[in-house]
Amino acid sequence: MPADVQWCIDNRYTLTLKSFVNEFGLLDKHYAVSRYTSIISNRHLAEDWERLESELNLFRKSEEYILFWLERSRRNTELDAHTACAEYIHGVVQTEARMLTSTLTASTSSQDTLTITSNDTTTTTDPESAESHDTDATATTIVVTDPGLENMENPTPLMPWTFKNVDVAELFTRFRQSVREMSSNRLVFIESSVHELLALSNILLLCPDQHSSLCMNVFTEDVLSDLTKELLAECMDLNQDMTDHACMKLSRIINNVESNIQSKDDAEFDLLVLGKDLNSLGRSLVRGITAGMRKLPLVAIESKETIGECELFTMYFDPILSALLSNPDRNVLLRWSNVTSDEAGKMRPDATISKILQCDFGSSLGFGEVKLARPSIDHHALCHDILRLAIFAKDTVDKNKLHAALTFQINEIGQLTFPRSLKELASFVNLKNMRTLLMVSEVFWRLCQPVDDEDYWKPKRRPTHPAIYSMIDATKDRHRVCALRFE
């Protein structure tokens, strides 16, 4: 854990922006306020956040705040002047010293050269070489690191991962090192650097044609694009399908209900008969479509801002997602609980896919995040959700020894636009959407399982950065470039 974060936690009861700035000698106002805001938003200070935030806002409105930064600004100017003068003087001294050394060396070399003619041997003593040798022999290098991040700074080397004659593991190590250097002296914008932030927790985020500039500079766009396609093809079973007859019949039943040609009761009976001839994944999907038919309003609610978060996922998303990702007979439930889990620490994912262990909830197999509609896309909040979901997934894979974990963000999932009404459900039921949902369901039930070979799994574990949120600039700007697309 970074020293400033640990100090704030240790002094939480007397913590103020002023004491924080004085403790670490910060002079840049923007950096200091952003860093302090990020730290008090850290999960370790969750219980004190409201008090600290209130005190900060009150301090920022006071005359003392203006005078404090005026004094820091004067101090900064004074130090800059001293530094500039010292650098100039140092440069002059170095130049003069080199000239004197060159003169002395030339003089000494001419005196220390001895020729012994009887043995035809020439011996030359170079004082500069001797001095250099003595210095090397006694030189000592001291490296100071944060003990809390020792395993982050010196992780176990990655095993080679060759893809098209390129070692992806080596490139990722270089990428992560570049991120460390970039973030060592400044906060980062999450909108443009979500790939970089996740790399610090040993997560490589791959999104089709959505890569950061640094990521493309290290890996190249071709490698990232080909690797994304390769991994998707490896994970997803592209053979998952629904017959033309079944898809057409399903679509016709929903259209009949939407057009008032058929009642919902009759349609539900026909859908049950249709599902009987399908495999287990197909039956689950038909159950989800049936539940959506029962629950969705006839027409979409146009005023999106009036829909609450709980209403959003229970009415629009739960009918289909629960059918695909939940099965009480297999002791797996999709929960819209907004509660903490063992893997998520104090953070609360909006949805958790949990195993049932006797009479309690066991390990988590996946997580979901929901964002309410806003007049404009909030890239800052959506990138935070991506960051949270990726870390949730990594931690549950590490803790529960899983092959994989599934996460979903209710802004888009599998590039699907979920229906908001019975009318939209009719157009939603098409072969492309049905195939996508079947593939998502199949990959979840196949891969989100415990590993059998612990010796294979153990060396793949890597630490999660303990203070990733304290590295994020807390400011928002809707004009800021975002590496990901949320459409």
Write down the pTM of the prediction. 0.66
Which residues are bridge partners to 351 per DSSP? 368
Kind and range of the H or E run holding 37: helix 29-40
Q: What is the pLDDT of residue 92?
A: 65
Q: What is the pLDDT of residue 299?
A: 84
Give the chain's end-to-end CA distance (angstroms, integer).
36
In 3D, which of 191, 233, 183 has the Cα closest to residue 208? 233
User: How confident is the model over 95-144, as pLDDT tens digits?
Assistant: 666 555 554 444 444 444 333 333 333 333 343 333 333 333 333 333 33
Strands, DSSP E only, in 125-223?
A: 162-163, 166-167
Kind and range of the H or E run holding 274: helix 264-276
Q: What is the pLDDT of residue 185?
A: 81
Yes or no: say if 288 and 327 are a contact pair by the CB < 8 Å rule: no
Residue 121: helix, strand or coil by DSSP?
Answer: strand
In 3D, which of 153, 160, 192, 144 has the Cα closest to residue 176? 153
Domain range list for the chain: 1-105+131-142, 244-450
Tens place of pLDDT per residue across the chain (487 aa): 778 888 888 888 889 998 999 988 888 888 888 888 888 887 778 888 888 888 888 888 888 888 888 888 888 887 877 777 777 676 666 666 655 555 444 444 444 433 333 333 333 334 333 333 333 333 333 333 333 344 555 667 788 889 989 999 999 999 999 999 988 888 999 999 999 999 999 999 999 889 999 999 999 999 999 999 999 888 888 888 898 899 999 999 999 999 999 999 999 999 999 999 899 999 999 999 999 999 888 888 777 667 777 777 888 889 999 999 999 999 999 998 766 666 656 678 889 999 998 888 888 999 998 877 666 788 888 999 999 999 999 999 998 889 899 998 886 434 567 888 888 888 888 888 899 999 999 999 999 998 887 777 777 788 888 888 888 988 888 888 898 887 6
Q: What is the pLDDT of residue 95?
A: 64
